[in-house]
């Protein structure tokens, strides 16, 4: 693949043939703002924020979807393009609930009045995204102070039917990330885009409440939504109340999976942040005990290892294992004939809840008069659905929510003195191949299944790990058609 | 009803999705959720995807229509030819505004976009039947005759 | 004055449209037989180099080039789609063609299928034209029974009330059973169209012109009308003219000929205010340009467009802002909703225009309309959004007083 020579903002750039303007700009260190674009998904180019001027074209071109060609001359930040982006933002914000646009504390909407660091600490703002909203960030950047249109009142009701994933259509900018993820990556087909023109809405299947649609509460839509249109049910206030209270005992388990996002949000290098910072922060806000997930995770994995040891060799059909609540629901909904083949083992969260209730309350001599609240800190949003359904833990907090809690309570991760986590119980040791098979999965758009050989009871068995529900569907179709080459299939959401 | 839907879907299966939807709409006057579910089943798709496509199109209805639906062409040529006066006459005769239904639920007034009959504008549809060169008096007469062809 | 010249409508009123025997007696399907003896490259070259048959849907792309691109594309699976989703307000020419002579369209489609090597063809006909749908199906069956189709299959697919499905990529999406939302271009349909295979999408009138060109030759066709847009064009008259109807004229006819010659002038002896050529997505023509001929280049020079060939005549009894209400609400209703500037912009433009038309508008509203028009014409995803405000911009520059007279009286 040869390169092509293009010019971006009067700077000569050599770009790989077939790449988009956005890719070429990013690799040359030139930033083009985006909103609907999400790496791994086919670009829709519907937000028109990434539009750029291409000499020779009367209309602006979307950088995320336009491929470079030899001699292309591009301007990413001309006054005309900036004006276009501002116009688009004005249009989007005019039909968006504006509780985020007007700072109640200062009493101003003018971006110049808002000091970024000050604003981020303010918690009077009603929006659930509280300053981590991609739309709000762009509005600030392009100084969208005045909305020149008739603001529409809240047109749609909020969908709380699942009790863990909340849909607020009044904040939706119809970027379609959630629909794409639900349809193409997760293949759940719970979300869709309906109607036409300004009536279009992102809605669960056939307009039903989310709980009545095929939704399995995998929480990936929450992960990709750029605004506060789909988010996890917010229980931060309740959590802080209990951590501060003297009449309760609170115990938290922190998963390693929050570290990446938490570091990014706190503007720290990943190498500068480890779990001991989080432990210190949580203890500072009154959490009595904080553990890492090693013990609980390993005990859950041991359950799986035992099941495999007992069944894998003798089973005629592949054994399907999962610690994901959403994945188990997915099987029940779409592959009911295979439900009997699925062994659900405890996730780290589920084990943690059990351990606190059954084992640790004696071990750490928790006062019986005090109510115990369990907090699971994890970025895997699937856990929210599981806790809501099964009541395994009382609170599930992801990286974003943890960041907001620390900001509100004045915890500064950059300066706090590290504290080691408490240790209760002993982790179970597993053989390395089993560790590899049962390791927590990182959900990523565009990932592939991972094949491996696993030795169980002296036999080497073919195993595969699916990392998305789309993989799960693929793998389960094979089992249904009796064409599966695997003996062990691990699925996750 | 399910059998009727399946029969239609299988008859029209080689046709496009919209042709199947038109045929299903003939059964009840609108496309029911049950019909969508059957359609999803027969097409190997999901109700979310079928409804996603179907809801895009103006001619596909998802709720029972009124007994008499009067659709007036809203486009520029009909406007220039005097559609506004016809609209006022209809609104006055029925006592409702465009987009509304009479309190007894019998009549609904709607806009429709260019019907491709601009040589005979203003035009309107009454329960899908075309009426052309409508003036305010003819409009009132249509209502008084209960929507029957003039 | 130039006379009407019926090429596409050569059989209209002379044959029974539901009779293939009538069509054949009138010389029908000779061109198809001739085409099938020709080398495909020569056939396409005839259309491309000499004939310069420009697409009659509105975009005016060279038909031969389009067919050539599909012919050269890789793979055995290719498609021909006839765009019969006529939806541009003021346009009814395709209905007239199909009502009077469906076989000329079918013959054109079969010639195209032969040229590019396609075995499957579709006619996407708007859902509102139910009787035509049935007539087309009958005509196809007749052609098949006569053995004229070879092993080519033609199917009729219904639309269901969506103007944007007239855009070729949106049409393809709709035909595939999805929402009628336009696709990114490139890739163009001739490379990756229906089912991502090479596809030719042409308008009804374009296909209807093909048999005569094949029969009589490219030079004959090129000698008719204007050089940059040869042949005839169906013009649809509507609005305040005496004779409203469809006429077929050489493309060097002037707007004056159309309005006063064929159209019989303005009704009730009123004066002309303006003419909108090309439908709601095109601008208004000032009366000082009545002597411009309607071919592509001449129209472009005065900042207008031939478009679909719709000619809507407006007399001096109208305030242009009232007409713009229909136009802006049309686009708001027909926007597919995919891209933010069109979805939100058409809604707000319609709101603002209505406010001004109802006498509730202020100067700032006009400024805001201009801002939106400027924004949408450059940032929207497809031609619908980009041209949704063309009529408004043109009206603002031609008739500023119409707007000013509607504004709320300023408080002193």
Q: Determine contact: C340 vs chain A, CB below 8 A.
A: yes
pTM of the model: 0.93
Q: What is the pLDDT of residue C410?
A: 63
Q: How far is CA C298 from CA A300, A428, B91, C62, C253, in A?
A: 77, 83, 44, 17, 11
Q: Is it the case that residue A96 has pLDDT exceeding 70?
A: yes
Against chain B, the chains showing at least 3 CB pairs within 8 Å are A, C
Is pLDDT of A413 > 50? yes
Find all residues with CB under 8 Å of A381, minimum gap 6, and list them. Answer: A218, A219, A220, A222, A223, A232, A398
What is the domain partition of chain B in residue ranges? 2-54, 68-144
Q: Is residue B14 over pLDDT 90?
A: no
Tell me which fold the domain A236-296+348-409 belongs to: Rossmann fold (3.40.50)
In a 13 Å sphere around the CA of C399, the CA atoms on its Cβ side amount to 25
pLDDT over threshold 50, residue A202: yes
Start-end ranges of CATH 1.20.1440.230 in chain C? 320-404
Q: For residue A113, what pLDDT band results from cuts at 50, 70 and 90? A: low
pLDDT score for A359:
82
Helices (H) and strands (E) in chain B, counts: 7, 4
CA angle A199, A200, A203 (to 5 degrees): 125
**Measured distance CA(B140)–CA(B143) in Å, rounded:** 5
Average pLDDT (A366-382) is 86
Task: List Cβ neighbours of C264 (8 Å cut-off, separation of 6 or more).
Answer: C241, C242, C243
H-run or E-run covering A262: helix A259-265
Helix (H, G, I), strand (E, B) or coil at A14: strand
Q: Note which residues in 92-131 of chain A have CB less than 8 A from chain C.
A: 92, 94-95
3-state secondary structure of C32: helix
Report yes or no: B55 at the A interface, CB cutoff 8 Å: yes
Edge to edge, the sheet with strand A319-322 lists A342-344, A319-322, A488-490, A459-465, A450-456
- Residue A189 scores a pLDDT above 80: yes
Q: In this predicted model, what pLDDT tens digit does every residue of A126-184 receive, in sequence order?
A: 566 666 788 888 888 898 878 889 887 678 899 999 999 999 999 899 999 999 999 99
Three-state secondary-structure class, residue A25: helix
pLDDT in tens, B55-89: 999 999 999 999 999 999 999 999 999 999 999 99
Q: Give the rounded percent of residues in chain C with a pLDDT score beyond 70.
A: 98
In angstroms, the separation between the Cα of residue A190 and the nearest Cα of chain B is 7
Q: What is the pLDDT of residue C16?
A: 96
B56: exposed, middle or buried (C-beta count within 10 Å: 0-12, 13-18, 19+)? buried
Rounded to whole angstroms, the Cα distance separating A40 from A279 reads 34
Sheet of strand B68-73: strand arrangement: B107-112, B68-73, B124-126, B129-131
Task: Tell me if C232 sits within 8 A of C250, measured CB to CB.
Answer: yes
Residues of B with CB below 8 A from C179's CB?
52-53, 56
Say if residue B119's pLDDT is above 50: yes
pLDDT in tens, A204-235: 988 899 999 999 999 999 999 998 899 888 88
Q: Read off the tokens for C226.
A: 């204007």
Residues 6+ apart with CB under 8 A from B36: A206, B47, B50, B51, B54
Query: What is the predicted pLDDT for the residue at B147?
Result: 62
* Residues A216, A208 contacting (CB under 8 angstroms): no
Contact residues, chain A, for C338 at CB < 8 Å: 44, 46
Q: What is the mean pLDDT of chain A?
A: 89
Select from B51, B56, B58 the Cβ nearest to the Cβ of A206: B51
CATH class label, C20-223 = alpha beta
Averaged pLDDT for residues A288-299: 94
The confidence score (pLDDT) of residue A314 equals 78
CA-based nearest distance C323→chain B, Å: 6
- Whether A261 shows a pLDDT value over 50: the answer reads yes
Instruction: State the DSSP code for A102.
Output: S
Per-residue pLDDT of A45-62, as tens digits, reads: 999 999 999 999 999 999
| Banded pLDDT at C89 (limits 50, 70, 90) | very high
| Residues B52, C236: C-beta atoms closer than 8 Å | no
Class of domain C320-404: mainly alpha
Residue C237 predicted with pLDDT over 70: yes
Return the residue matching tokens 């762009």: A138
Residues of chain C with CATH 3.10.20.600: 228-315
pLDDT of the residue at A121:
45
Q: What is the H or E stretch that residue C259 is in?
A: none
Is A321 strand, coil or helix?
strand
By C-alpha distance, the chain C residue nearest A176 is C338
Contact residues of A toward B, CB < 8 A: 183, 189-196, 204-207, 213-214
CATH number of A313-345+428-490: 3.40.950.10
Residues with Cβ within 8 Å of C374's Cβ and at least 6 positions away in sequence, in order, are: none
User: Which part of chain C is CATH 3.40.50.11540?
Assistant: 20-223
With cut-offs at 50, 70 and 90, classify the pLDDT of residue A122. very low
- Using the Cβ of B23 and the Cβ atoms of chain C, whether some distance falls under 8 Å is answered with no
Question: How far is Cα A322 from Cα A336, in angstroms, rounded to an integer?
Answer: 15
Share of chain A above pLDDT 90, in %: 68
- Encoded tokens for C31: 């061109």
For domain B68-144, the CATH architecture is 3-Layer(aba) Sandwich (3.40)
Q: Identify the pLDDT of residue A109.
A: 59
How big is the CA angle at C29 (ends C8 and C38), to the nearest 5 degrees?
105
**Distance between the two ends of chain B, CA-based, in angstroms?**
35
Write out pLDDT tens, residues C244-303.
999 999 999 999 999 999 999 999 999 999 999 999 999 999 999 999 999 888 999 998
In the predicted structure, residue B111 carries a pLDDT above the cut 80? yes
Which pLDDT tens digit goes with each residue over C306-319? Answer: 999 999 999 999 99
Contact check, Cβ <8 Å, B59/C329: no
Show residues of chain A in contact with C381, CB under 8 Å.
Answer: 45-46, 48
End-to-end Cα separation, chain A, in angstroms: 36
Comparing A68-72, A247-251, A271-275, C349-353, the range with the smallest average pLDDT is: A247-251
Phi, psi of C203, rounded to the nearest 5 degrees: -75, 160
Distance between CA atoms of C233 and C296, rounded to whole angstroms?
A: 11
DSSP-assigned beta bridge partners for residue A16? A3
Q: Do A197 and C346 touch (CB under 8 A)?
A: yes
Q: Is residue C139 within 8 Å of residue C125, measured between CB atoms? A: no
Q: What's the DSSP call for residue A70? A: T
Give whole-number Cα distances, B91 to A274, B107, B146, in Å: 70, 11, 15
**CATH class of the structural domain A154-232:** alpha beta
Is C329 part of the contact surface with chain A (CB cutoff 8 Å)?
Answer: no
Asked if residue C152 lies in contact with residue C110, where contact means CB atoms within 8 angstroms, the answer is: yes
The class level of CATH for C228-315 reads alpha beta
Put simply, the answer to whether A94 touches C348 (Cβ < 8 Å) is yes
Instruction: Quick: pLDDT tens for C30-66.
Output: 999 999 999 999 999 988 865 567 777 777 788 999 9
Judge contact between C258 and B140, C-beta under 8 A.
no
Long-range contacts of A74-80 (CB under 8 A, 24+ apart): A74/A6, A74/A7, A74/A8, A74/A9, A74/A21, A74/A25, A75/A8, A75/A9, A76/A8, A76/A9, A76/A25, A76/A30, A76/A32, A76/A52, A77/A9, A78/A53, A80/A53, A80/C378
Find which of B39, B52, B115, B116 to mutate to test the C interface (most C CBs within 10 Å of its CB): B116
- The pLDDT of A74-83, averaged and rounded, is 96
Contact A231/C at CB under 8 A: no
Chains sharing 3 or more CB pairs under 8 A with chain A: B, C
What average pLDDT does the structure give for chain B? 91
Q: Is C334 on the interface with A (CB under 8 A)?
A: yes
Helical H runs in chain B?
2-12, 17-28, 33-43, 47-54, 76-80, 83-94, 136-144
The per-residue pLDDT of chain C, averaged, comes to: 94
The fold of A3-77 is Ubiquitin-like (UB roll) (3.10.20)
């Amino acid at each position: 693949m040869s390169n092509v020579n293009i010019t971006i903002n009067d700077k000569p750039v050599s770009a790989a043939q077939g790449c988009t303007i956005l890719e070429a700009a990013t690799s040359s260190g030139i930033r083009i703002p985006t909103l609907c674009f999400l790496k791994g998904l086919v670009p829709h180019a519907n937000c028109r924020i990434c539009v750029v001027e291409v000499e020779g074209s009367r209309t602006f071109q979307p950088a995320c979807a336009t491929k470079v060609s030899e001699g292309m001359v591009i301007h990413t930040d001309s006054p005309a393009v900036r004006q276009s982006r501002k116009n688009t933002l004005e249009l989007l914000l005019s039909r968006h609930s504006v509780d985020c646009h007007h700072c109640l504390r200062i009493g101003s909407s003018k971006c110049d009045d808002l000091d970024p660091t000050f604003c981020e600490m303010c918690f009077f703002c009603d929006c659930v995204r509280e300053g981590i909203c991609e739309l709000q960030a762009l509005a600030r950047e392009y100084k969208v102070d005045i909305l020149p249109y008739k603001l529409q009142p809240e047109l749609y009701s909020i969908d709380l039917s699942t009790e863990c994933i909340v849909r607020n259509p009044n904040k939706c900018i119809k970027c379609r990330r959630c629909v794409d993820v639900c349809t193409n990556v997760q293949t759940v087909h719970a979300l869709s885009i309906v109607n036409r023109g300004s009536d279009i809405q992102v809605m669960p299947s056939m307009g039903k409440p989310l709980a009545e649609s095929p939704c399995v509460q995998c929480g990936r839509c929450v992960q990709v939504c750029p605004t506060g249109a789909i988010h996890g049910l917010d229980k931060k206030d309740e959590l802080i109340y209990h951590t501060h209270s003297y009449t309760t005992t609170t115990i938290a388990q922190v998963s390693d999976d929050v570290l990446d996002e938490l570091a990014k949000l706190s503007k720290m290098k990943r190498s500068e942040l480890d779990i001991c910072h989080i432990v210190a922060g949580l203890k500072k806000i009154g959490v009595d005990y904080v553990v890492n997930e090693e013990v609980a995770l390993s005990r859950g994995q041991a359950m799986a290892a035992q099941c495999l040891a007992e069944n894998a060799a003798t089973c005629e059909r592949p054994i399907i294992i999962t610690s994901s609540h959403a994945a188990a629901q997915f099987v029940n909904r779409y592959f009911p004939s295979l439900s009997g083949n699925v062994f659900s083992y405890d996730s780290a969260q589920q084990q943690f809840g059990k351990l606190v209730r059954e084992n640790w309350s004696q071990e750490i001599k928790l006062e019986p008069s005090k109510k115990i609240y369990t907090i699971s800190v994890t970025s895997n949003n699937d856990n929210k659905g599981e806790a809501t359904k099964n009541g395994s833990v009382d609170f599930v907090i992801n990286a974003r929510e943890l960041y907001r809690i620390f900001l509100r309570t004045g915890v500064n991760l950059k300066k706090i003195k590290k504290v080691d986590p408490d240790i209760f119980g002993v982790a179970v040791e597993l053989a390395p191949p089993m560790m590899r098979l049962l390791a927590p999965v990182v959900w990523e758009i565009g990932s592939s299944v991972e094949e491996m050989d696993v030795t169980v009871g002296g036999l080497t068995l073919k195993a595969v790990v699916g990392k998305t529900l789309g993989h799960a569907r693929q793998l389960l179709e094979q089992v249904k058609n009796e064409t599966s080459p695997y003996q062990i299939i691990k699925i996750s959401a | 009803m399910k059998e009727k839907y399946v029969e239609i879907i299988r008859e029209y299966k080689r046709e496009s999705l919209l042709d199947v939807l038109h045929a299903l709409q003939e059964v009840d006057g609108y496309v029911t959720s049950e019909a969508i579910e059957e359609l999803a089943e027969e097409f190997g798709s999901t109700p979310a995807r079928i409804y996603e496509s179907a809801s895009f199109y103006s001619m596909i209805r998802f709720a029972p229509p009124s007994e008499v639906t009067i659709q007036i062409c809203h486009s520029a040529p009909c406007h220039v030819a005097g559609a506004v006066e016809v609209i006022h006459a209809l609104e006055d005769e029925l006592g409702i505004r465009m987009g509304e239904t009479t309190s007894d639920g019998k009549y609904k007034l709607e806009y429709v976009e260019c019907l491709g009959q601009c040589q005979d504008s203003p035009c309107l549809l009454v329960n899908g039947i075309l009426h052309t060169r409508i003036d305010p008096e003819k409009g009132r007469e249509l209502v008084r005759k209960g929507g029957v062809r003039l | 004055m130039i006379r009407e010249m019926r090429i596409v409508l050569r059989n209209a009123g002379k044959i029974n449209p539901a009779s293939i025997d009538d069509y054949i007696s009138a010389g029908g399907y000779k061109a198809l037989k001739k085409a099938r003896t020709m080398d495909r490259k020569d056939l396409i070259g005839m259309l491309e180099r000499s004939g310069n048959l420009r697409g009659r849907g509105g975009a005016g792309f060279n038909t031969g080039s389009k067919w050539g691109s599909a012919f050269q594309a890789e793979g055995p699976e290719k498609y021909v789609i006839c765009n019969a989703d006529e939806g541009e307000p003021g346009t009814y020419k395709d209905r007239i063609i199909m009502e009077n002579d469906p076989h000329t369209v079918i013959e054109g489609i079969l010639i195209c299928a032969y040229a590019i090597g396609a075995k499957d063809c579709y006619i996407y006909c708007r859902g509102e034209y139910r009787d035509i749908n049935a007539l087309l199906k009958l005509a196809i069956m007749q052609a098949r029974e006569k053995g004229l189709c070879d092993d080519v299959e033609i199917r009729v697919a219904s639309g269901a009330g969506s103007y944007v499905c007239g855009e070729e990529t949106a049409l393809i999406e709709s035909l595939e059973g999805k929402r009628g939302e336009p696709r990114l271009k490139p890739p163009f349909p001739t490379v990756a169209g229906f089912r991502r295979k090479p596809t030719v999408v042409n308008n009804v009138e374009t296909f209807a012109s093909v048999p005569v060109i094949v029969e009589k030759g490219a030079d004959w066709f090129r000698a008719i009308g204007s050089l940059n847009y040869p042949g005839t064009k169906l013009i649809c008259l509507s609005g305040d003219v005496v004779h409203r109807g469809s006429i077929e004229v050489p493309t060097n006819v002037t707007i004056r000929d159309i309005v006063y010659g064929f159209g019989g002038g303005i009704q009730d002896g009123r004066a002309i205010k303006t003419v909108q050529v090309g439908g709601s997505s095109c601008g208004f023509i000032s009366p000082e340009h009545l002597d411009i001929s309607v071919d592509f280049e001449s129209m472009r020079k005065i900042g207008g467009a031939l478009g679909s060939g719709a000619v809507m005549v407006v007399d001096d009894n109208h305030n242009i802002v009232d007409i713009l209400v229909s136009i802006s609400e049309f686009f708001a209703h027909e926007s597919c909703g995919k891209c933010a500037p069109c979805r939100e912009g058409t809604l707000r433009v319609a709101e603002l225009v209505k406010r001004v038309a109802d006498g509730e508008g202020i100067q700032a509203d006009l400024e805001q309309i201009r801002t939106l028009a400027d924004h949408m014409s450059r940032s929207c995803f497809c031609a619908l959004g980009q041209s949704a405000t063309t009529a408004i911009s043109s009206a603002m520059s031609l008739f500023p007083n119409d707007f000013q007279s509607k504004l709320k009286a300023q408080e002193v």
